[in-house]
Structure 1
């Protein structure tokens, strides 16, 4: 593939797109935020990454983290995608390693179980040295720093442009359609039709809010100017 057909995507964009796409699923909103880095780590570690996100989106749309159950040292994913199990898996590994010095958990019934390897990358962020062998995950304190995130922050991830733009197009469907009202309202701030900013005190700047007024109003103003 030529360089022109490859994009180097940085963490901000990867996190933004995966967060938006996961918000389209049944995952609780707080959980979707927790899981957004899972896709980026999968991509950075040469696993399924964003291609797998698109391929398995239908299954993720009905994902239910509450079905995951722990029985001793066995984590039953109940058919959920490995990405859905990983946040809970990391938490449990951290608790067991802090208490016992080492942790060992078997992950059963996880779809795309090879993606459990992501725990090796994410575990380092939590100060854990994690090893995944098939469905057996072990951890000890001392991850040695988050080398994967350090690398991605520096170099990003090389990705086929065709794949990335499909990801981008899907992510845009999570946004509110563009309209005069949507352009006037963002977060806690809303701009009235006459340009008054409500909800922000630091409006002593040179922000031009005239562009978000109604088209008809601007046409009228233009005729009477």
Structure 2
């Protein structure tokens, strides 16, 4: 797959837009919807930490959901920690879970260790360091090569509770204040990919957009539009066909 990486200018993208575009892309990949917010946060944190980030999302999006959660196996280790065999699952899909488990063990034992094997792109588990700070913990992530392949060790220790946003997540705090720099062409590519999550333009979608519904007989149900330029004719099939034909001609 071609990597979108060129010496173009960088857009300064707000956190809201990063979350919106990332989540829309994830919605198109067949991932469990309940897991998408956690995966989204791992991707944004990855970008903020200088890891794979948005470029990696663009490059591996078609295989991100290739290995699901059913491939994972977990067992308790002798030291009270956990050993997880990911079965090839991508690090982003389990980063939040690993952070939660490591912090939970640390709360009970003073420190918590989670060892992971068979993880796709294990270096992305470094985002656990950022995720753990949100729970008032410090995490260290180390990757070791052993006979059976790579093993990732996540060790969490307790710290003081976050007092403010800077302590809760310094990467997120910096992004809120200064936005996230993203290559112009890369962001445009991600934006267009995210549009696949939107409903196609149609008579039905237009009639149900916003605070009103326009029935077939022209009756408006709901709050009347406050916009003086609102034209119900725009929601009729003939008008939509004209717009679509114009878009085709413009291409």
TM-score category (smaller protein): 0.7 to 0.9
For 1:68, the equivalent position in structure 2 comes to 72
Q: For residues 60 and 101 of structure 1, what CA distance do their matches in structure 2 show?
A: 34
For 2:236, the equivalent position in structure 1 comes to 214
Distance change >3 Å, CA 94–CA 27, structure 1 → 2: same
Distance change >3 Å, CA 190–CA 33, structure 1 → 2: farther
- Secondary structure of 1:21 counterpart: helix
Moved segments of 4+, more than 6 Å? none
For 1:160, the equivalent position in structure 2 comes to 183
Q: For residues 234 and 113 of structure 2, what CA distance do their matches in structure 1 show?
A: 56
Residue correspondence of structure 1 range 28-177 to structure 2 within 5 A: 28-72=32-76, 73-134=82-143, 135-142=152-159, 144-177=167-200
Q: Which runs of 5+ in 1 are unaligned?
A: 219-225
Measured after TM superposition, the shift of residue 9 of structure 1 is: 0.8
Q: Which runs of 5+ in 2 are unaligned?
A: 1-5, 77-81, 144-151, 241-251
User: What value does the CA root-mean-square deviation take over the aligned residues?
Assistant: 2.3
Quick check: 1:24–1:174 contact (8 Å CA) kept in 2? yes
TM-score of the pair, normalised by structure 1: 0.85
Measured after TM superposition, the shift of residue 147 of structure 1 is: 0.7
Measured after TM superposition, the shift of residue 23 of structure 1 is: 1.0
- Count of aligned pairs between the two proteins: 213
Distance change >3 Å, CA 205–CA 53, structure 1 → 2: same
Quick check: 1:82–1:112 contact (8 Å CA) kept in 2? yes
- Secondary structure of 1:41 counterpart: helix
TM-score of the pair, normalised by structure 2: 0.77
